[in-house]
Chain A
Amino acid sequence: FIGARYHFSFHLIRLQSCSKAASRGQTFKKQNRRKVNNKDRNREGPASLSVCSGHRKCNITRFHLPLTPSTSFHTTVLTSAAQSAITVTEEPDTLFQKLVVLVKGHDRAVLDSYEFFATMTAKELGISLGKVFEPPKDIERLTLLKSIHIFKKHRVQYEMRTHYRCIELHHITGCTAQVYLEYIQRNLPEGVAMEVTKTAMEKVPDHILEPMWKEIPTDDKPSQ
């Protein structure tokens, strides 16, 4: 390595909780808002979780620090191929008021451990958790004949139990939701199904912001 010039870049991905703006219902027009591309997210997902625990601002900042080999800096050299995978767009990000993740399974213990995993992930990423509760289970029962021929009085009963677990997240951006859901879904155990409901927020249209009677006080009101 002597004589080589190493060039490494820091990727700091900090995810945001945008409670203030979200409650006002306005769209974001920040220059700092960047959309994370798929490739980068896959690679950086586990690494970024360890980096950003406790950070609350949404910024993907990249620092390029070219170093000469004479310095005694010992950090991991991240590949420079990852830089080109991040795309920067200026369009505003979608905002979700509520993200409801419902998991269904046959085994309650599996759902318990998955709920622990999902809530821990949300806490580490700084996403505000709403309610985490257990809807009552559904049992589907079948009563079938025990014998293949006659013996109508002797039956056998089977049942299929479906347990549920519901995790609600509040005030989350589109980017964060994508990252969180992708991580959650990649680690979904076998035999467990998930349903996600997203409640998006949109900017109030301009033409109904101001009431009509305030603008034109002298005109007649046709619709009363």
Chain B
Amino acid sequence: MAASLSSIGNVRVLSALAWSSSLCSFSGSRGLHVTVSCCKNRAARIRVGKGDKPVTYEQAHHPHHIGHRKGWLSQHTSNLKGEDGAAERTVEDVFIRRFMFGTFHGCLANEIVIKRRGNLLNVCAVMLQKLPPQKFYFLIGYTESLLSHFYKCPVKLEIQTLQDKIVYKYL
């Protein structure tokens, strides 16, 4: 993020040499003050570019729009007040997302939605029609059985397929 001064982004280096030279008449201090003043957030955002990058609805909206224009990608109760198990659920979610990304490589149209209802783990994904249906069915069954053995709970996969990714805008 703003760790290195040489990063290209929105980092402006204010060198106080010019400052101190203009103000040093009464302060008397001389030194190099380097501040990164314009530390914009970079999390989960795609920066505005030339206008040739297609971007989905999920990617186009920034994280502060969650709850207002976006929904939640991972739905469980451990982040509520008085509930525990947040860290375990987060680790499981990260693993499931990476697993799905790798198993259905190049086929995912959008982010994966993970819902937990009681013991049941529901993984909902939107896929592109890149593979023949038989391969899809095999991969779905393989994922379901492997994840349910791994997490010791029933895992259901809900897949929808599309021709192409839905583009919301070009950034």
A residues adjacent to B (C-beta < 8 A): 104-107, 138, 140, 146-151, 154, 156, 160-162, 188-193
Bound: A191/B81 CA distance, A: 12
Indicate if the CB atoms of A147 and B1 lie closer than 8 Å. Answer: yes
For the complex formed, measure the closest distance between the CB of B138 and the CB atoms of chain A, giving whole angstroms.
27
Q: Which residues from chain B contact A104 at a C-beta distance below 8 Å?
A: 77, 80-83
Asked if A190 meets B81 with Cβ closer than 8 Å, knowing A147-B1, A147-B2, A148-B3, the reply is: no
Interface of A, helix, strand, loop or mixed by DSSP: loop
Bound: A140/B2 CA distance, A: 27
Indicate if the CB atoms of B81 and A146 lie closer than 8 Å. Answer: no
B residues adjacent to A (C-beta < 8 A): 1-3, 36, 39, 41, 43, 67, 72, 75-77, 79-83, 115-117, 122
Indicate if the CB atoms of A140 and B67 lie closer than 8 Å. Answer: no
Indicate if the CB atoms of A162 and B81 lie closer than 8 Å. Answer: yes
Indicate if the CB atoms of B39 and A191 lie closer than 8 Å. Answer: no
Interface core residue of B67, B80, B115, B117 (most chain A CB under 10 Å): B80
Indicate if the CB atoms of B80 and A106 lie closer than 8 Å. Answer: yes
Indicate if the CB atoms of A140 and B1 lie closer than 8 Å. Answer: no
Of B1, B80, B117, which contacts A190 at CB under 8 A? Answer: B117
Q: Which residues from chain A contact B115 at a C-beta distance below 8 Å?
A: 190-191
